[in-house]
Amino acid sequence: MKDQTILVTSGRNASEQFGAVNPPVVHASTILMPSTKELRDYDSMKYRYGRHGMPTQHALMDAMAELEGGYKAVLSPSGLAAVTTALQAFLNAGDHLLMVDTVYEPTRNFCDKHLARFGVETTYYDPLIGAGIAALIKPNTKVVFTESPGSRTFEIQDIPGISAAAKANNDITVMTDNTWGTPLYFKAFDKGVDISIHAATKYIVGHSDAMLGVITARESHWQRLLDCNRTIGMAVAPDDAYLGLRGFRTLSVRLRQHQETAMALCTWLNEQPEVSRILYPAWPQDPGYSLWKRDYLGATGLFGFVLKGGVTRQSDAFLDALEHFGMGFSWGGFESLMIPNSKVKRTATVWRPEGLSFRCHAGLEDASDLIADLDQAFEGFRGQME
């Protein structure tokens, strides 16, 4: 089936849903066994305890795995919880982790403050290293973690090249944070990835009203992931899984609009004399454009841009003047957002934007209204330059 059809039909089991088109919310903790036979065969029961998931959660897990092309998926209560669960599943004391330098900062914090306590060594690498990552692989390297595009700075990684280098060492697991690309626009398993991670809070939920994480695995990596997920007690409420399913069904139409609006905003911003650079992989002048074009089926609504020169006073004037762009540390919902790209942490590479950098999420408002809002905010920016 085509992806658009999978989005609508996957995870729907009429025999478990009383004929309902959308899987209903099933609240349960205790599951009664009908006889001692089922009680003794507890481990093989699909529904055996609320923490392991009821029909609502299983519908979302099945749908995500089918769309992404993986074997099976598990849920977690946030995107960060999905990242930390995946890392803990495949790392032991004494292991070495290769982590992309442009990773989401809470993931970096987990490596530096938690994994380090348990004897896991982390090396941060240049996101543009590609197949050259082979030079960083050690005998005890067990995981290579990618995130493309880079958090805040939007570098596209050569994930097929990185995966091929890792596969030359058979016991290395390749993971990717695929939140920006989504399972619709980046087919991680076709690119050599073993574990694909999503902050489903963003585009999967799509309405800024639930926290959710999803991890999808190859069959070869599934049991280890499942065992860890259950051992550390990860569980998602059926209400949140239901909201994830609701957003999942409309992912295709929403992403098309997000991309169209993002491109319209980038086109307008590029014409402003104060803008020195657009940070968006789908922008033809972006350094990562060729890799994006090769590996991705589309782009989403999150991008960045840099204003020439400038000081904090001007940044504040610009942000405070915006009416349709909220200031919030998230993205992927129906609303447009804007935050300054301050305090970008790098240790293996250097990122100097040479101006004021902003991260923008293009929501589902009319693009002409968003452009008009940017236009009047630029007047405030220019006024602070005088």
Pairing of strands 141-147, 121-125: unpaired
Q: Is 242 a catalytic residue?
A: no
Tell me the sheet residues that pair with 57: none
Q: Residues 318, 375: contact at Cβ < 8 Å?
A: no
Catalytic (active site) residue 277? no
Residue 268 · residue 27 · CB < 8 Å: no
Q: Which residue type occupies 313?
A: R
- Across the chain, the runs of DSSP E, i.e. the strands, are 72-76, 96-100, 121-125, 141-147, 173-177, 195-198, 213-217, 275-279, 302-308, 337-340, 355-361
What structural domains does the chain harbor?
3-249 (3.40.640.10), 252-385 (3.90.1150.10)
From residue 117, alpha-carbon distances to 104, 128, 139, 231 in Å are 20, 29, 21, 20
| Residue 48 bears catalytic tag | no
What is the rounded (10 degree) CA torsion for 264, 358, 333, 60? 110
pLDDT of residue 33: 86
Which position among 3, 95, 101, 177 bears the catalytic label? 177
User: Distance (Å, rounded) from C-alpha 359 to C-alpha 294?
Assistant: 24
Catalytic annotation, pick one of 95, 101, 104, 185: 104
Q: Which of 51, 138, 167, 294 is catalytic?
A: 51
Which parts of the chain register pLDDT below 70? 384-386
Q: What pLDDT was estimated at residue 79?
A: 97
Select which of 152, 187, 191, 202 is catalytic.
202
Q: Is 202 a catalytic residue?
A: yes
What pLDDT shows up at residue 342?
78
